[in-house]
């Protein structure tokens, strides 16, 4: 009888603590903020380490580069290239007026820490996040 009572109490506790079946929805791509943390400058070329488009998980095997000059932003992801002129706003807002693949805007935020660049935002209503490491 004690064993049965123990099992009932354990089952009730598990259910009260969320031990039942939980249903979670899709998780959006990560958001990166902070601007330039430490020393460094944004212009450079970065090898992409992860790409998320729309919802998690990141695109498996996605590869490419992000190249940033004084005025131009180019992200080559697989067979697609996003390019255009960019502007920065304090403290960490980036706006890219894309001309390729379609005329639109990427509006988002960025973080540069040491040699790691992370950009997140929205392109034509679709969430996008990119993480890359500076090429020496």
In three-state secondary structure terms, 99 is: strand
Q: Which residue pairs from 110-114 have beta carbons closer than 8 angstroms and sit at least 24 positions apart in sequence?
A: 110/32, 110/33, 110/34, 110/35, 110/42, 111/32, 111/33, 111/34, 111/35, 111/37, 112/35, 112/36, 112/37, 112/40, 112/42, 113/34, 113/37, 113/38, 114/38, 114/40
Is the confidence at residue 8, as pLDDT, over 80? no
Q: Please, are residues 65 and 73 in contact by the beta-carbon 8 Å criterion? A: no
* Separation of alpha carbons 134 and 36, rounded Å: 14
65-81 residue pLDDT tens: 999 999 999 999 988 89
91-111 residue pLDDT tens: 999 999 999 888 999 999 999
78-96 residue pLDDT tens: 888 999 999 999 899 999 9
Select the more confidently predicted residue: 6 or 111.
Answer: 111
Pairing of strands 35-37, 104-113: parallel
Average pLDDT over residues 12-34: 68
Select the more confidently predicted residue: 12 or 58.
Answer: 58
Is the confidence at residue 14, as pLDDT, over 90? no
Tell me the domain boundaries of the chain.
35-134
**Where residue 57 falls among pLDDT bands split at 50, 70, 90?**
confident
Q: How far is CA 80 from CA 37, 65, 71, 74, 93, in A?
A: 29, 11, 20, 10, 23
Angle at alpha carbon of residue 57, lines to 111 and 125, rounded to 5°:
65
Per the prediction, the chain carries an average pLDDT of: 84
- CATH code: domain 35-134 is 2.40.128.10
Residue 113: is the preceding peptide bond cis (ω within 30°)?
A: no
């Amino acid at each position: 009888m004690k064993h049965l009572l123990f099992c009932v109490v354990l089952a009730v506790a598990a259910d009260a603590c969320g031990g039942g079946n939980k249903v979670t929805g899709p998780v959006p791509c990560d958001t990166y903020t902070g601007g330039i943390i430490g020393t460094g400058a944004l212009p450079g070329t970065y090898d992409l380490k992860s790409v998320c488009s729309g919802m998690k998980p990141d695109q498996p095997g996605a590869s490419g580069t992000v190249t940033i000059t004084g005025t131009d932003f180019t992200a080559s992801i697989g067979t697609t290239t996003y390019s255009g002129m960019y502007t920065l706003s304090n403290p960490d807002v980036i706006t890219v007026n894309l001309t390729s693949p379609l005329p639109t805007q990427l509006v988002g935020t960025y973080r540069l820490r040491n040699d790691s660049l992370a950009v997140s935002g929205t392109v034509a209503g679709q969430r996008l996040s990119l993480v890359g490491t500076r090429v020496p």
